[in-house]
Structure 1
Amino acid sequence: MNQIIETILQRKSVRHYGAGEIPKEDLETIMRAGMAAPSGMNKQPWAFVAVRDRQQLDMLGDALPYAKMLLQATAAVIVCGDLRTLSNEEAKLWVQDTSAATENILLAAEALGYGAVWTAVYPEADRMKPVVEILGLPERVIPLNAIAVGQPLEDRDRPKNKWKPEKIHYDRW
């Protein structure tokens, strides 16, 4: 099978991590993959905050109700929409663009042998506020999600077969 298709089909949401740092170079490769995503009008409204500091990871894990795995992960990528230079017309695509970047980040982490999981921040104000405060995000930089990244605990999290042919329609509904 093609290696890219294999990576896509093997991608899983990893919530259990072991020890092991994520080298800065690997985090940069993961974020480079994020920046290779398609973007409406090529505006590329994404910005990433790579977090490796244990105290920062713990604060985020404590603040985010569905991101407790950050307490185990050795890194995180916070995917943000940077709306500071976009018009209102351009800004309306930021969620789609940053979501595409997020999927590339998840696939790159999988391809490099790391575990990762997307945890939602936007549009919940009670999740966005602590992320903005902990990371010092400027005004008009909106956190979309927090992606925990780490060495997966062997065999804890497995890919799911999500293929459902009944969801496919050819030529018309």
Structure 2
Amino acid sequence: MNAIFQRRSIRKYTGEHVSREMVKQLLEAAMAAPSAGNQQPWEFVVVRDKEVLQKLTEVSPYTKMLKEADLAIVVCGDEAKEKHKGYWVQDCSAATENILIMAAHLGLGAVWCGIYPVDERVVGVKNILGLPQSVIPLGIIAVGHPAEHKEPANRYDESKIHYDRW
């Protein structure tokens, strides 16, 4: 539960290098996510090239922190791998959340920047990264060593819970 509550959207980074081992741990966590029918339609593009990170900031106004991040993980769904049409979004969202929780556990900062379903963003990311036709970018996760601290958040709200019926 600590990692879940510690997970916060971190947008400022120190510039310190994130090790290959940490990146592997983030991706292992991602691929441990559940998926519909165990279809695992996810694909990941790890971006460290500063020019590519800069280009990605031009696709969405909410990705400016990529300029400071050591890397980004672009979480994509491959529609060609789907057994259960349309569930790639849920599957890749679960993988994304696992990355964010693992980042918090490792002491890294990360933030999820949505790309899908905004067509201009999807097309922009596909073009920058050269994604195949069947691969759709769900989101970009900026990752780095945090240069800001946010207190753990407990957003539990009893008023949002309904039992048996609304």
- Give 1:109's aligned residue: 103
**SS at 2:145's partner residue?**
strand
- Give 1:50's aligned residue: 46
d(CA) in 1 for partners of 2:18, 2:64: 19
| Matches for 1:20-59 after TM superposition, within 5 Å | 20-59=16-55
Structure 2 alignment gaps of length 5 or more? none
| 8 A Cα contact 1:64 1:127, kept in partner | yes
4+ aligned runs moved over 6 Å, structure 1: none
Please report how far the alpha carbon of residue 58 of structure 1 lies from its aligned counterpart in structure 2 after TM superposition: 1.1
1:146 matched to 2:153? The reply is no
- Of 71-80 and 16-25, more deviation after overlay is shown by 16-25
Q: Could you tell me which of 105, 109, 120 is aligned with 2:114?
A: 120
Which letter does structure 2 place at the counterpart of 1:165? Answer: E
RMSD, aligned α-carbons: 1.4
d(CA) in 2 for partners of 1:143, 1:77: 10
**TM-score where L is the length of structure 1:** 0.90
d(CA) in 1 for partners of 2:67, 2:81: 34
What do residues 32-88 of structure 1 show as CA deviations (whole Å, max 9, x unaligned)?
10000001000000000011111111111222211111111111100000112335x
Identity rate, percent: 49
Which letter does structure 2 place at the counterpart of 1:161? Answer: N
| 8 A Cα contact 2:13 2:145, kept in partner | yes
Q: Could you tell me which of 84, 92, 95 is aligned with 2:89?
A: 95
d(CA) in 1 for partners of 2:130, 2:151: 35
d(CA) in 2 for partners of 1:50, 1:130: 17
**SS at 2:29's partner residue?**
helix
Structure 1 alignment gaps of length 5 or more? none
**TM-score where L is the length of structure 2:** 0.94
- Give 1:166's aligned residue: 159
Instruction: Report the number of matched residues.
Output: 166
